[in-house]
Amino acid sequence: SQQGEEDPQALSIQEGENATMNCSYKTSINNLQWYRQNSGRGLVHLILIRSNEREKHSGRLRVTLDTSKKSSSLLITASRAADTASYFCATGRIQGAQKLVFGQGTRLTINP
C-alpha cells in the first residue's frame, strides 16, 4: 500500500491564489520529496526535504516537514494556469535501499 497520502485529492483555485497540498506518511523517513506530473507525462522532481529539515523554499514553492506528526505540506504561491498538474509526495525510508513510496496525488486545477 502507498505510504504517502495526499490531501486533498483534488483542488481547484483561481489564478493568483495560493495552493496548499498536504501529505501524511506512516513510517520513519530519510527524506520526503514532491513531484509534479502533467497529464500523460512522466514525473518531474520539484523539491526534496530531509528529515532533519523543517522548511525549504524553491522559487514559488515552500515545503514544510513535521516529523512528529509525520506530515508535509507543499505551498505554491501566486499560482499560474501552467501550475495545473498532479502533485505527488514520495517518502524515502531510512532503510530499504533506494526506494521511494509515492502517494496517490493531488490534482490541482488553476482557473484563469
In the complex, least distance from residue 109 CB atom to other proteins, rounded to whole angstroms:
13
DSSP code per residue over 25-47: --S-EEEEEEEEE-TTS-EEEEE
CA-closest candidate to residue 48, choices 72, 27, 22: 72
Please, which residue, 39 or 68, has the CB nearer to other proteins? 39
Considering only residues 60, 62, 70, 93, which one is a binding residue for other proteins as defined by CB under 8 A? 93
In the complex, least distance from residue 82 CB atom to other proteins, rounded to whole angstroms:
19
Work out whether 33 is an interface residue with other proteins (CB under 8 A): yes
Q: What does the alpha-carbon distance between residue 75 and residue 26 come to, in Å, rounded to a whole number?
A: 21
For the beta carbon of residue 27, count every other beta carbon within 10 angstroms: 12
In the complex, least distance from residue 18 CB atom to other proteins, rounded to whole angstroms:
24
DSSP run (H or E) holding 81: none
- The residues that touch other proteins, with contacts defined as CB under 8 A, are 2, 4, 30-31, 33, 40-45, 48, 88, 90, 92-94, 97-105, 107
